[in-house]
Amino acid sequence: MPDPVPADERRFAEEMGTALAGMGVTPAFGKLLGWLLICEPPAQTSAQLAEALGLSKGSISTGMRLLERTGFVRRVPAPGRGHAYELMPNAMISGTDAAATYAAMRHVTERGLALLAAQGFAEDHDRARRLRINRDFFLFIEEEVPKLIDRFKQENDL
Amino acid sequence: MPDPVPADERRFAEEMGTALAGMGVTPAFGKLLGWLLICEPPAQTSAQLAEALGLSKGSISTGMRLLERTGFVRRVPAPGRGHAYELMPNAMISGTDAAATYAAMRHVTERGLALLAAQGFAEDHDRARRLRINRDFFLFIEEEVPKLIDRFKQENDL
DNA sequence: TTGAATGTTCAGAGAGTTCTGAACTTTCAG
DNA sequence: CTGAAAGTTCAGAACTCTCTGAACATTCAA
């Protein structure tokens, strides 16, 4: 019988799941991430994860593949059969980029400006002001946030 | 009979609704925001909004109250009866703060560290590394993003 | 090569969310 | 004061999303 999972740690994983759900991740995957942040050993097999978190084999499989594709997690060779999963060292830091969301917002605003332009309202026209300022803002964020993240990485030797 | 709404503009509002849905706003409220970004005149009554976007009176009422509470929109006196709603000048810019999300993430990580500390693993212990780096990161973002936004405001005379 | 362990897929149950529409309350012009 | 317009509320229909579990596929130790 494997070690029982400390209740505290499991609850932490659950809270992380809830917090991450607020960022668009599904609760189950958030829970997986949360668990990988504190579990010992750091690399765990599907079976261990399912056992620790009370999730189905299916959820683990789907969740891990997603987390792997998005760069949060990597496979490492497991002692016995199969493989184990481990949090990427900078998982959440790179994952938090959110660049896609801001890029999406910039694109819609861009489309809106094009629409007004087609009606004869140039970007400097009053009618386009509301949109333009927002396009500029999202562009700004899109450019600056990655710089910010780089700065954090540098300051912390990552 | 009031002006018919240009199909282009309505579609823009819908696209904005979809884009904002990716940020946690419901599609209907995103649509309202999108519309208020391009509509002419900039201030519109509930009736106009319902007409323009094909939303029920109920949705407009609930949506506008939410948007008002969160600072995206303000009421302005309407020509006839009642009042009209207008996008706040910097609506999306202040709304994009996202501070709450990052604060939430910092709090969970903080709790996780406390949990490990109770088990005898100090913040500089190896077992706490994964969590600590994340706590530091969310704290960093929490502090720096508002500065970034201020900079944008200054550079654009807002 | 074989079969037990591991991993993947997906239909659908269950939970949750969004939006409407109808009943109700408030407001104000006359 | 009256009643019509404006605004609010909320039950529930329609829809969407998440996760499970069972069937299927793959892998590898012996």
Q: What are phi and psi of B119, to 5 degrees?
A: -90, 0
- Closest nucleotide (C1' vs CA) to B30 is C18
Which parts of chain A are beta strand (E)?
44-45, 73-77, 83-87
Q: What is the distance in angstroms between the Cα of A121 and the nearest Cα belonging to chain B? A: 11
Which one, of A47, A43, A46, A95, lies nearest residue A69 by Cα?
Answer: A95
Does the distance separating the beta carbons of A141 and B148 come in below 8 Å? Answer: yes
Contact flag, residue B129 CB and nucleic strand D, below 7 A:
no
Q: In Å, what is the separation between the CA of B39 and the C1' of D23?
A: 54
Which residue of chain A is at minimal alpha-carbon distance from B130? A37
Of the two residues B100 and B123, the one the predictor is more confident about is B123
Does the distance separating the beta carbons of B38 and A104 come in below 8 Å? Answer: no
Specify whether the CB–CB gap between B48 and B2 falls below 8 A.
yes
Query: pLDDT at residue B77 above 90?
Result: no
Query: Which pLDDT score, from 0 to 100, does residue A81 have?
Result: 66
A4-8, A43-47, B68-72, range with the lowest pLDDT? A4-8
Query: Which pLDDT score, from 0 to 100, does residue A115 have?
Result: 95
Each residue's pLDDT tens digit, A109-133: 999 999 999 999 999 999 999 999 9
Does the distance separating the beta carbons of A140 and B12 come in below 8 Å? Answer: no
Q: What percent of chain B has pLDDT over 70?
A: 93
Q: In Å, what is the separation between the CA of B59 and the C1' of D24?
A: 46
Q: What percent of chain B has pLDDT over 90?
A: 65
DSSP, collapsed to helix, strand or coil, labels residue B78 as coil
Q: How many CB atoms lie within 10 A of CB A43?
A: 19
**If pLDDT is split at 50, 70 and 90, which confidence band does B2 have?**
very low
Distance (Å, whole) CA A50 – CA A74:
17
Tokens of B45: 């009554």
Contact flag, residue B101 CB and nucleic strand D, below 7 A:
no
Each residue's pLDDT tens digit, A53-104: 999 999 999 999 988 888 889 999 877 667 899 999 888 887 666 677 788 8
CA distances from B155 to A54, A86, B88, B93, B147 (A): 51, 43, 19, 13, 12
> Taking phi first (over 0 means left), then psi (-120 to 50 degrees means alpha), and beta for anything else, what does residue B55 get?
beta
Concatenated DSSP letters of A64-101 = HHHHHHTTSEEEEE-SSSSEEEEE-TTHHHHHTT-HHH
Which one, of B71, B14, B76, lies nearest residue B45 by Cα?
Answer: B76
Query: Which pLDDT score, from 0 to 100, does residue B23 have?
Result: 78
Q: For all residues of chain A together, what is the average pLDDT?
A: 89
Tokens of B90: 């910097």
CB-contacted nucleotides of strand D (7 Å): 5-11, 17-23, 28-29
Query: Which pLDDT score, from 0 to 100, does residue B110 have?
Result: 96
Does the distance separating the beta carbons of B105 and A23 come in below 8 Å? Answer: yes
Query: Which pLDDT score, from 0 to 100, does residue A90 have?
Result: 84
CA distances from A56 to A27, A51, A53, A75, B35 (A): 14, 9, 9, 19, 43
Which residue of chain A is at minimal alpha-carbon distance from B86? A130
**If pLDDT is split at 50, 70 and 90, which confidence band does A7 have?**
confident
Q: In Å, what is the separation between the CA of B48 and the C1' of C4?
A: 67
Query: Which pLDDT score, from 0 to 100, does residue A106 have?
Result: 93
**If pLDDT is split at 50, 70 and 90, which confidence band does A1 have?**
very low
Dihedral of alpha carbons A120, A124, A125, A129, sign: positive
Specify whether the CB–CB gap between B34 and B13 falls below 8 A.
yes
Query: Which pLDDT score, from 0 to 100, does residue A91 have?
Result: 82
Protein residue closest via CA to C1' of C9: A58
CA angle B137, B138, B139 (to 5 degrees): 90
Does the distance separating the beta carbons of B158 and A133 come in below 8 Å? Answer: yes
Specify whether the CB–CB gap between A115 and B9 falls below 8 A.
yes
**If pLDDT is split at 50, 70 and 90, which confidence band does B91 have?**
confident
Q: Which of B19, B101, B156 sits opposite A108 (nearest CB)?
A: B19
CB-contacted nucleotides of strand C (7 Å): 5-10, 17-23, 28-29
In eight-state DSSP terms, residue A120 is: T
Query: Which pLDDT score, from 0 to 100, does residue B20 have?
Result: 87
Q: For all residues of chain B together, what is the average pLDDT?
A: 89
Q: In Å, what is the separation between the CA of B24 and the C1' of C12?
A: 27
Average pLDDT over residues B129-153: 93
How many A/B residue pairs have CB atoms within 8 Å? 118
Does the distance separating the beta carbons of A12 and B108 come in below 8 Å? Answer: yes
Element (H, E) at B112: helix B99-118
Q: Which of A23, A38, A108 sits opposite B112 (nearest CB)?
A: A38
Q: What are phi and psi of A103, to 5 degrees?
A: -60, -40
Q: What are phi and psi of B73, to 5 degrees?
A: -140, 150
